Structure 1
Amino acid sequence: MKVLVLGPGGREHAIIRALQKDPQVTQVYSAPGNAGIAQQIPTYPINAQNPAEVITLAQQLDIDLVVIGPEAPLVAGVADALRQEDIPVFGPDQEAATLEGSKAFAKEIMAEAQVPTALAKIAHTMEEASEAIDSFGPPYVVKDDGLAAGKGVVVTHHREEALAHAQACFDAGSHIIVEEYLDGPEVSLFVISDGERCIPLAPAQDFKRIFDQDRGANTGGMGAYSPLPWLPENFVQTVMERVAQPTITHMKHRGTPFIGVLYCGLIITSRGIRVIEFNARFGDPETQAVLARLKTPLGQLLYSAACSRLDENTTLSWDSRYAVDVVMAAENYPDTPRTGDVINGLDDFADEEDLYVVHAGTTQQGQDVLTSGGRVLAVVGLGEDLAQARERAYEGVQRISWQGAQYRQDIALAAVQQQIAVPQQYS
């Protein structure tokens, strides 16, 4: 099986690493990829959001499976175009991808499928936004309805900040969702779906804020870990029964089957499990931690889903170790990140089995690898327990440097210190 992975980031590098371990995958290609990916496999500098360019490349390479990493190509209809050419693709059609492309649409689907989520109001004007914000009260939760690379949400006690975010969304031509504030530990769960059946991967937890102790602006994610030692034993089964399967079943019934990975962003509140958001692709940086532990051949799993032949009775095999990944970001991320800095220390990694680097915003220039994006790379550590995995990841971070590099120092720390409290009545 020859596989083409679309996307330039850390999620795609992690997917490629996992695909290369599948004995039935003979070759992996990437478009457009990054410096780290290009060191391992052939890359092609096409526009992954252009269906015609993707089809042409897939046909030239005689690809057996296309895996779409980021959300933008999905919302652009790349999966639709590939399916019209009878090219197997792991990723939802454009209409199904609206689960991520529009939070208002996702709320509509959740209501119809009776999936538990936060109360919300949609606002198209500042007058409507002001009324919605006041109706819920602080802390205020204001979300851009469209794609925002994980940075379209503001949670604040300051009304003026909430209104300013609403105005910025309106100015950009979008509208907003104002939600009730939910309090509790957050969980990310990836669910592989073939449009009818679905299989969960291992849960993970990511860290959205730029600074320690969840301070500062939202980012695309500054680190993650998996599995979650504090999670109730029947949590995944509950999510599958109350969230994932009802959503997949409803999408099929409405004529928009969801084939790909349904990212369930969840929170455990005192009133039960609630969906914060749906995404239509693997999450970044959770993928780096989750796929580090997956032993089941990924290519075969994704191909089965793409061909609508998923066996929901499949039992996935996992490495018993824990995985922690720490994202290193460029100076001034998530605002306007500084790029073009030489990254030092990458040669110190011999791709150790329990410590390695996943590239994201990197580019090659001669013998140097330079920063080219906000989130530059992630260091992944595996260990017999969470503390050891975390220690290894941060040991790796200390080997790498560039001007202005920044990272959080508390990824997975609360879990190691057993400071995460799960409400007893969570189900």
Structure 2
Amino acid sequence: MTALALLGGPPLRTRPFQPWPQFDRAELDALADVLGSRRWGGIHGGSQGEVFETELADYLQVPHAAVVANGTAGLMIALKALGVRPGDEVIVPAMTYLATATAVSLLGGVPVFVDIDSATHTITGSSLKGAISEKTKAVIAVHLGGHPADMDSLGAVADTYGIPVVEDCAQSLGAAWNGTQTGSLGTIGVFSFASTKNISAGEGGAVVTHDDALAARIASLRDHGRPLGGTPNHPELGWNLRLSEFQSAVLRIQLKRLEAHLAVKAKGAAFLALALSRLPGLMPVPATLDPRVTAHGRFSFAFTFDGEAFNGDGYNSTSPGAFRAALRAEGIPASTRGLVACPDEAVYADITSRDYSSSRTVSAEQARVACSTLVLLGQAAGSGLLLEGPSELTDVVRAVEKIHENRIRLRQEQRRPARPHVSSDQ
């Protein structure tokens, strides 16, 4: 039995997987064109930003898209456009990137945390219904990891109570629910184009909607409160959250590659889901796709790790942290640490925190379990691993098998007390 790389043995894989984000000569040429144009920013007719907005709106089948500085800015714009004011409540999943909640807090609103479905790690209509109060102004549905939330049940409850649904599509560009793209299912959709996302310009975002009046407000809020069309008047408070022409030019190229990337990643994810589900203690999320998920965004390949099942003895357990560390040491890019449920982040949980903010938690049990046991591969770990074929992805499976063979040794190692740190200055 070969020793684990974490414990001094040779790593199973030494060559890298495909990188992320990806680019080629097309992006370089597009950047050079913008540079030569000397029109590097602003909002103007025929701009890269305007053309990208049209192309994105066409892809999503929505009439309105506005590019913005980043996804968090997009959420703030969406919520302010919907009239969220200080003291208003916005329902948010207990498991999501913190920015989903802080976008509410930065407007003076109160995020209300609700639990996730354990199978998909997204919220449902039942979790939404149990959190609604007279202060509820909106709900944010997060399509986590590229998996669409149950927009049927969410939409039914939201419609009954007259609550607008903001879709947080930061990780789901290209995903579809019943054949309809995420972002075009709710009242407003918000996308991120940060470095790990399905298309990327390093930073950037977009806000999309079917509603003409909301679209006008969104465009105004991202440009100092100035109505679209170049008017010098500023009838409301807005931000400067415009996107540069360089970023828009890159995103136009990236969008052209999206469908090809999604097709390859779907095959890679299917291979890993089948292979890893045969190993003890590993459960892909979701275990099987709901037939209403007609396309998965595949931002990441996620699976939960059960340390007791992995060990097979019923009472001893390998920690998820030790498993992640062992996987990385074998040359498999995986998430570096466990996640934290939003209600447990210091800004909401620690009253002594410098920027402690008001929140309300309805439930978060499933979210806390998922955060502590989740292992992420792919873009979430800064890797293009899912673009590989089975011949390369087999190394992921072999690495897990190697760790399983060494599970007793790994468990013993994780129980050892940490060595005292000695400063190099002594």
Structure label with greater radius of gyration:
2
Bigger share in strand: 1
Which structure's relative contact order is higher, taking Cα pairs within 8 Å and 6+ residues apart?
2
TM over 0.5: no
Structure-1-length-normalised TM-score: 0.28
Bigger share in helix: 2
Structure-2-length-normalised TM-score: 0.28
